[in-house]
């Protein structure tokens, strides 16, 4: 990366596409120069954020009794072909390895239902083995033939994939709701990203699922990006792999399965885009690799004592991720700009004045405000952190709320979509009978029906906006990546 790469953004966030391209490069999230279409290098700063995100997600999954496993990155072709709808949906996106003599063809995993289900068959014998809730983290690979975009559309992305097996449909559907709650607790409450949990129309569900819930997040350009999705797989895969268990009455039954997939590197897109500003990233403190950066401001003659004072402050800040930036080749101003660009929540500036007063100058990244704090009052930082996280979540919530527009005519929908809104309207059905109406909406507006709220029932008013039949659903419409 050239020397100018970290010298600050040259565009404002209103020019979102160019802003995003600059911020992921200049804040050292990624490096695009390897030259592999759809495959990118995540740099140290981006990787450290991703690692924190993984950690928080795994903690929540394990709290909900999921156990980690490590699965192969390869899937035998015969496995992929077991469930016809699944293979038909994914076959165009599969990377195939050159087959070895005498061995069947292998695919780089695009998703892992056809790895987990055959293991369920081996590991689950009776109702006593249920429920089984397991997950893996790692990369998946999809041969995306559309235009790729770093982090947004990639051919390899980092994710968590949870697969669960149950004895009844009711238990499986409770898991789907738990997955939505996991997204709420982690992505919203910890990463600060609000979302709409939408049950997808039947024509837009995951290949092989009974139904799909997608967590849609609005971006600054008005487009929606799908974040964690959860799927009721039902018994389709267990029947394909003959995965059965013996119930309490001694009868053999097929397993009911679910799948949940938070794509961590893609969620990072929303963290960058929703919270960032004209100076760069704004990172929630829970996932920031450095929560507090200390900048000692010194001359040659007082360097030693200022550095010593900075170290004294660092030692008092137990429980925080803190570093001292004592690089001689950068001026304090350049250091300020660099750490603001990278989104570090708080900065402590210390020089001769702070040393004399036994104080610090405390800078808060999101509101760009400085506070003077005495050394004996460093405990105040905990309150500043709480307010910081609350503030960026509230701002993100307000942003989402401001983008939802209820419409009653197709002209209102067109206007709202052009303004970068998510449209809410009454609709006939997200089952097959609604497909013609959905196609007319997409043709007229360039936006698609994303689904209905999955965590609560919304009552429609009047008729379907297209066919004028009695509306059964309240749907959300938007453009997506």
Residue 2 has pLDDT above 60, yes or no: no
Q: According to the model, what pLDDT value does residue 93 have?
A: 86
- For the chain, the C-alpha Rg in angstroms (whole number) is 25
Peptide bond into 131 cis (omega under 30): yes
Beta-carbon neighbour count of residue 153 at 10 Å? 17
List all residues 6 or more positions away from 317 whose beta carbon is below 8 Å from its beta carbon.
292, 378, 381
- Residue 411 burial by Cβ neighbours in a 10 Å radius (0-12, 13-18, 19+): exposed
Please compute the mean of the pLDDT values over residues 110-117 and round it to a whole number: 95
Rounded CA separation 370/283 (Å): 18
Q: According to the model, what pLDDT value does residue 276 have?
A: 98
Rounded CA separation 107/98 (Å): 9
Rounded CA separation 85/317 (Å): 55
What is the bridge-based pairing of β-strands 106-108 and 74-76?
A: antiparallel
SS3 of residue 219 by DSSP: coil
Residue 99 has pLDDT above 90, yes or no: no
- When mean pLDDT is compared across 97-106, 159-168, 366-375, the lowest value belongs to 97-106
Q: According to the model, what pLDDT value does residue 7 have?
A: 75
Rounded CA separation 346/387 (Å): 12
Please compute the mean of the pLDDT values over residues 186-196 and round it to a whole number: 98
pLDDT tens column, 55-86: 999 999 999 999 999 999 999 999 988 876 77
Q: According to the model, what pLDDT value does residue 6 have?
A: 52
Rounded CA separation 130/306 (Å): 60
pLDDT tens column, 116-141: 999 999 999 999 999 999 999 999 99
pLDDT tens column, 210-251: 999 999 999 999 999 999 999 999 999 999 999 999 999 999
pLDDT tens column, 414-467: 999 999 999 999 999 999 999 999 999 999 999 999 999 999 999 998 999 999
Domains, the chain, ordered by start: 14-275 (3.30.930.10), 292-399 (3.40.50.800), 404-478 (3.30.110.30)
Please compute the mean of the pLDDT values over residues 157-169 and round it to a whole number: 97
Q: According to the model, what pLDDT value does residue 479 have?
A: 97
List all residues 6 or more positions away from 184 whose beta carbon is below 8 Å from its beta carbon.
none
Q: How many CA atoms lie within 13 A of 102 on its CB side?
A: 0
- What integer best gives the mean pLDDT of the chain? 95
Please compute the mean of the pLDDT values over residues 19-38 and round it to a whole number: 95
Tell me which residue of 253, 79, 69 sits closest to 166, measured CA to CA: 253
Residue 1 has pLDDT above 50, yes or no: no
Q: According to the model, what pLDDT value does residue 4 have?
A: 42
- pLDDT > 70: what percent of the chain? 98
Q: According to the model, what pLDDT value does residue 330 have?
A: 87
Rounded CA separation 366/458 (Å): 35
Which DSSP helix (H) or strand (E) runs through 48? helix 44-63
pLDDT tens column, 381-406: 999 999 999 999 999 999 999 999 99
Tell me which residue of 92, 93, 138 sits closest to 115, measured CA to CA: 138
List all residues 6 or more positions away from 404 whose beta carbon is below 8 Å from its beta carbon.
421, 422, 424, 476
């Amino acid at each position: 990366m050239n020397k100018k790469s970290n010298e600050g953004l040259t565009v404002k966030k209103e020019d979102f596409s160019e802003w995003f391209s600059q911020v992921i490069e200049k804040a050292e999230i990624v490096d695009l120069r390897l030259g592999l279409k759809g495959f990118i290098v995540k740099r140290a700063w981006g990787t450290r954020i991703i690692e924190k995100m993984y950690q928080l997600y795994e903690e929540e999954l394990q709290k909900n009794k999921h156990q980690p496993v490590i699965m192969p990155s390869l899937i035998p072709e015969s496995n992929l072909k077991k469930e016809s709808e699944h293979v038909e949906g994914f076959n165009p996106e599969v990377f195939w390895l050159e087959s070895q003599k005498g061995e069947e063809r292998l695919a780089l995993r695009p998703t892992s239902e056809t790895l987990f289900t055959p293991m369920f068959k081996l590991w689950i014998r009776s109702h006593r083995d249920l429920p089984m809730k397991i997950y893996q983290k790692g990369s998946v690979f999809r041969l995306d033939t559309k235009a790729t975009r770093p982090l947004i559309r990639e051919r390899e992305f980092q994710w968590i994939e949870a697969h669960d097996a149950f004895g009844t449909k009711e238990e499986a559907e409770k898991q789907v709701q738990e997955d939505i709650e996991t997204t709420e607790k982690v992505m919203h409450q910890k990463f600060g990203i609000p979302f709409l949990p939408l049950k997808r129309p039947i024509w837009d569900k995951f290949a092989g699922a009974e139904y799909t819930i997608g967590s849609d997040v609005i971006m600054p350009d008005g487009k929606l990006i799908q974040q964690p999705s959860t799927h009721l797989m039902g018994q389709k895969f267990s029947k394909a792999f003959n995965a059965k268990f013996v119930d309490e009455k001694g009868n053999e039954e097929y397993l009911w399965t679910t799948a949940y997939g938070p794509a961590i590197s893609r969620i990072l897109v929303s963290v960058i885009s929703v919270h960032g500003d004209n100076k760069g990233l704004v990172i929630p403190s829970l996932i920031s690799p450095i929560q507090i950066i200390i900048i000692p401001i010194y001359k040659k003659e007082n360097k030693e004592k200022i550095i010593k004072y900075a170290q004294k402050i660092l030692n008092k800040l137990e429980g925080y991720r803190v570093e001292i930036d004592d690089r001689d080749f950068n001026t304090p101003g350049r250091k300020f700009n660099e750490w603001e660009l990278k989104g570090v929540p708080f900065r402590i500036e210390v020089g001769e004045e702070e040393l004399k007063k036994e104080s610090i100058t405390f800078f808060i990244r999101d509101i760009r405000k400085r506070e003077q704090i005495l050394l004996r009052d460093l405990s105040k930082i905990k309150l500043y952190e709480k307010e910081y996280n609350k503030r960026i979540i509230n701002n993100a919530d307000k942003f989402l709320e401001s983008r939802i527009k209820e419409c009653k005519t197709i002209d209102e929908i067109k206007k709202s979509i052009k303004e970068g809104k998510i449209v809410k309207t009454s609709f006939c059905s997200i089952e097959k009978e609604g497909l013609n109406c959905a196609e007319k909406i997409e043709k007229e507006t360039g936006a698609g029906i994303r689904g209905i709220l999955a965590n609560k029932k919304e009552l429609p008013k009047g008729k379907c906006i297209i066919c004028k039949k009695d509306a059964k659903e309240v749907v959300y419409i938007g453009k997506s990546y």
